[in-house]
């Protein structure tokens, strides 16, 4: 039985070790690709069998999935890009997956074709998936499923030290407790004390990963938002930057527009981009974590 063989440390039962990649789904991948390039990501490789592209900057891998045929029970990509998956780095993906199922996670179907990696995943919020990846030190999962684009730098440096900081998840009213249970029990996240926030969007509940490398932020509908369509999903990416103002300057030069009106203005603490493609924003948060930036990704 796996649970006893691995004897993981109790505070980090899966050996969580940061984010391996995040995935967007969209039926208009070129539009999103253009936005990502302005955000500093570069297209690196193309999936062998599906309309899926790998982007990268610094330590961040980002996948754009435009494959029209969704997994059973999932929605096909829409024009407006949706954040549809987070892949967690773990010590042992199979152990992590089995443990999650044993605690009540939903198994997700995978669609690995012949010679492709089968990455174990579970059901996350809404239509999203949470993957477990354990091959990230000595081996690149992308070398199996992706074909490198010719002539591109496979390890483009990060703009202004950007790195994954966290993911904001919208939830419905009175659902904070449910999702706290989800992230604490399945992954070993812990709730930060009330009032401790990063960035310029201080609201909701902040959960810290057991590896202390990233955060999940849960946000219930704000008061007075009865007329706003509010659904449960992965809402936006938080990117850490050691110097937010420098990052804002660098991204503005690349054509990114930031919200600049009270109460949301770029500051030393954080900044928020405008909404792109009807759905996508990026939040910058001051962060000296830069968990992986010092270590170039494996080729």
* CB 89, CB 20: distance < 8 Å: yes
Shortest distance (Å) from residue 295 CB to other proteins: 34
69 binds other proteins (CB under 8 A): no
Residue 69 CB, nearest distance to other proteins (Å)? Answer: 22
> According to the 3-state scheme, what is the secondary structure of 64-75?
EECCCCCCCCCC
Interface with other proteins includes 174 (CB under 8 A)?
yes
Written as six digits, the tokens of 249 are 């300057």
Instruction: Show the binding pattern over residues 110-149: x = contacts other proteins (CB under 8 A), - = does not.
Output: -------------xxx------------------------
Contact call for residue 181 and other proteins (CB under 8 A): yes
**Looking at beta carbons only, is 60 or 125 nearer to other proteins?**
125
Stretch of residues binding other proteins (CB under 8 A), selected from 12-20, 101-109, 198-206, 244-252: 101-109
Question: In b/e form, how buried is each residue of 187-215, taking b as 16+ CB within 10 angstroms?
Answer: bbbeeeeeeebbbbbeebbbbbbbbebbb
To the nearest whole angstrom, how small is the minimum distance from the Cβ of residue 182 to other proteins?
Answer: 5
By C-beta, is 31 or 180 nearer to other proteins?
Answer: 180
Question: Residues 9, 69, 94, 178: which binds other proteins (CB under 8 A)?
Answer: 178
CA distances from 27 to 33, 51, 69, 70, 108 (A): 12, 10, 11, 11, 22
Q: Which CA distances in Å does 116 have to 49, 53, 112, 145?
A: 9, 15, 5, 5
Q: Which stretch binds other proteins (CB under 8 A): 47-55, 76-84, 166-174, 240-248?
A: 166-174
């Amino acid at each position: 039985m796996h649970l006893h063989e691995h004897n993981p440390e109790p505070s980090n039962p899966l050996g969580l070790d940061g984010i391996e990649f995040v995935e967007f789904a969209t039926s208009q991948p070129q539009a999103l690709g253009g936005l990502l390039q302005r955000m500093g990501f570069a297209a690196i490789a193309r999936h062998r069998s599906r309309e899926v592209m790998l982007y990268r900057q610094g330590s961040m891998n980002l996948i754009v999935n435009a494959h029209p045929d969704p997994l059973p029970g999932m929605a096909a990509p829409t024009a407006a890009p949706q954040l549809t998956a987070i892949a967690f780095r773990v010590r042992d993906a199979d152990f992590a997956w089995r443990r999650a199922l044993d605690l009540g996670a939903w198994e997700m179907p995978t669609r690995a074709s012949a010679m492709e990696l089968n990455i174990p995943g579970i059901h996350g919020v809404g239509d999203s998936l949470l993957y477990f990846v354990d091959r990230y030190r000595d081996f690149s999962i992308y070398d199996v499923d992706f074909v490198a684009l010719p002539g591109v730098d496979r390890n483009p440096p990060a703009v202004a030290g950007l790195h994954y900081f966290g993911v904001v998840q919208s939830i419905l009213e009175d659902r904070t407790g449910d999702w706290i249970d989800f992230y604490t029990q399945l992954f070993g996240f812990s709730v930060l004390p009330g009032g401790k926030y990063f960035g310029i969007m201080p609201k909701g509940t902040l959960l810290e990963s057991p590896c202390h490398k990233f955060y999940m932020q849960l946000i219930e509908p704000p008061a007075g938002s009865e007329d706003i369509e509010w659904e449960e999903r992965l809402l936006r990416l938080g990117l850490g930057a050691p110097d937010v103002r420098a990052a804002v300057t660098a991204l503005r030069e690349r054509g990114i527009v930031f919200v600049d009106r009270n109460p949301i203005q770029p500051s030393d603490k954080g900044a928020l981009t405008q909404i792109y493609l009807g759905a996508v924003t990026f939040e910058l948060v001051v962060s000296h974590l830069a968990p992986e930036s010092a270590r170039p990704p494996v080729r």
